Each structure stands twice: as structure tokens, then as C-alpha cells.
Amino acid sequence: MNKEKTRIGVLVSGGGTNLQALIDAEAAGIIRSGTIAAVISNNPDAYALKRAQNAGIKTFVIPRATPGDREVFERRLAETLDENGIELIVLAGFMCILSAQFTDARPGRIINVHPSLIPSFCGKGYYGLRVHEEALKRGVKVTGATVHFVNSIPDGGEIIFQKAVGVLPDDTPESLQLRVMREAEWKILPEAAEKVSESIQKEKNA
């Protein structure tokens, strides 16, 4: 392994389609400046863990049983990231909101993909299928995905990349979700991971 590469930790909660896009992008050389060194999930049953294991990536499970145990959860998460030398954290379908204390300690080192063109359909409560349900309810003609830095405000960090996707007249929330993933999320998330990994690499070598 190239020790100069930025070590990426991917946080997941579910099926891991965005994780798979990152794994495939690294294999294809789209992600050149970074390497996925760990995949961490709050859900022991997440299929994303299997995807990581199939790719030979170290996996960790840190359950979060109740909303009140965030402090313990984040301490264990920070320890796991530090023990594995993680320099860039990618949230890829991670269903836990991180505290301001956690994000403020890592400025410019956490990125997230959101399935809309921020500032539309974003913020607290907007995740998963609900984003696409709301987009269709409002009758928008164009939606898409955004990769942004993570700060203390949900979906409030600086935008890195956005990609637009057209809404079709017969779209359902499910069909729109799938097209946004295929045409936007799976493209711009790896590109953003490379961009930020390269920036971190340059910082280290400066």
C-alpha cells in the first residue's frame, strides 16, 4: 500500500451502494490519491459490511442503541478512526447525525453525499426516499445530488460538487431515487473523495 495515500474511512448504515461506487472507483483508478482503509457501521446487519469484506477492507461495527448514547458512540468512533489512521471520513448512507463537537474537531475532513441539489430538500429529516417524495410533491423538473463538507448544521457545509438529474413525468420516488444514484451520486461522490484526498495529500507533503 502506498503510505502517501490519504486514508479514507467510510461510514455506512445500510446497503452500501455508494460504498460500492467508491470501491469500484478506487479499483478503476478514479480515486488515486486515497485508499479506503476502513468501513464503519452503526448497524451490524448492514449489507455494506459484506461489500467491504468482499473487497478486503477492514470493517468495524459500533452500535448506537439509543439516542442518548451519542457521546459514547462518538468516542468509540473517534478511537476507531484514529487507530486506523483515517484522514478523510466519507458518510455514505450513514443514518446518524454527528455532533458539532465531532465535526468541529475535523474541519474539511468529513464529506457527505445528499440526494438533492442543496439547498433544496435538505436539512433535518430529509434523507432517503423522503427527499424524492418531497421533490415529486413540489413538482420540480430537475433534481440531483450534492457532495458537501460536513459541519454542525445538517447538510449545511460547503458544497464540493453537484450534478443535476431530470425528473420524468412518470417518476415514482423509487425510480427517481435510483436514477439520482446512478446518474449523480455514484459519479460525484468518488470524484469528491479524490479531490479532497488529493488536497490532504498535498497538505501532508507541503
Residues 38/24/118/64 CA torsion (nearest 10 deg): -30
Determine contact, residues 38/117, Cβ cutoff 8 Å.
no
Q: What is the longest distance spanned by two Cα atoms in the chain?
A: 52
Q: Is a pLDDT exceeding 90 seen at residue 204?
A: no
For the segment 137-144, the average pLDDT, to the nearest whole number, is 97
pLDDT band for position 2 (cuts 50, 70, 90): very low
Q: What is the CATH number of domain 6-201?
A: 3.40.50.170
pTM of the model: 0.94
Q: Per residue in 22-52, pLDDT tens?
A: 999 999 999 999 999 999 999 999 999 999 9
Q: So which residues are the catalytic ones?
A: 114
Confidence category of residue 1, pLDDT binned at 50, 70, 90:
very low
